[in-house]
Structure 1
Amino acid sequence: MTAWSVTPDGLAIAIRLTPRGGRDSLGGIETLADGRQVLKARVRAAPTEGEANAALIVLLAEVLGVSRSQLSLTAGASARLKRIVARGDGEALAAQLQKRICEI
């Protein structure tokens, strides 16, 4: 199982977010204790009033080459583990994300 999966309307991404991480960046794939894989991300923003979530959306929009309006936080608004859905061509989005992860 990978940190993301193609859905009928786009791409679902499991993320472990580190707020106040010093920089906005992706950090590769991590396997959790229960065997699930997540994409590691860090943002400079603090986890108050949704600032870190908003920064994560901006970061992913840039990485995937889509507008912020195509991304939505579907789970984990106040947790470290989050689920983001990117609307669009799921296969193309997955390929773009895989390419960026390989560059890390």
Structure 2
Amino acid sequence: MGKPKKKHLPDLSHLAQPGMEILVRVTPKASRNAIELGNDGLRVLVTVVPENGKANEAVRALLATAMGVAPTHLTLKRGQSAREKLFVYSVASRS
């Protein structure tokens, strides 16, 4: 998966709040990379196959791009091998 283009993604910058939990439904092996906003929440489509965590990383990168943050600020809390995933946004504090 190449670097996602911001112009094709919805603006999810409002989700970039420390401690924010983001529930997404993932569709791997899709025909395109996209994020869709629906009545039932966020739906993330990625072209990557779900093996060895590749799809999880693709989802994390796509979400981070739409939010305007670094992918390292998103942690997969639940759903390693499920379609329903819970990401948590966190910013490491500098001491």
Which category describes the TM-score, using the shorter chain as reference length?
0.7 to 0.9
Point out the structure with the larger helix share.
1
| Structure 1 residue 27: Cα displacement | 1.3
* Mapped pair 1:66 → 2:75: no
* Mapped pair 1:29 → 2:32: no
Report the RMSD for the aligned CA atoms in angstroms.
Answer: 1.7
After superposition, the C-alpha distances for 1:66-99 in whole angstroms (9 at most, x for unaligned) are 01110000000000000011125xxxxxxxxxxx
TM-score, normalisation: structure 2:
0.73
| Structure 1 residue 43: Cα displacement | 0.3
User: Partners in 2 of 1:29 and 1:11 — Cα distance?
Assistant: 19
The number of aligned residues is 76
* Mapped pair 1:20 → 2:29: yes
Match of 1:45 in 2: 48
Percent identical residues: 34
| Residue identity matched to 2:28 | P
Segments ≥4 residues shifted beyond 6 Å = none
Structure 2 residue runs without a partner (length 5+):
1-14
Point out the structure with the larger strand share.
1
| Structure 1 residue 29: Cα displacement | 2.2
Distance 1:30 1:48, change over 3 A: farther
| Structure 1 residue 11: Cα displacement | 1.4
User: Partners in 2 of 1:44 and 1:17 — Cα distance?
Assistant: 11
TM-score, normalisation: structure 1:
0.67
Structure 1 residue runs without a partner (length 5+):
1-5, 32-37, 89-104
| Structure 1 residue 23: Cα displacement | 1.2
* Mapped pair 1:77 → 2:85: no
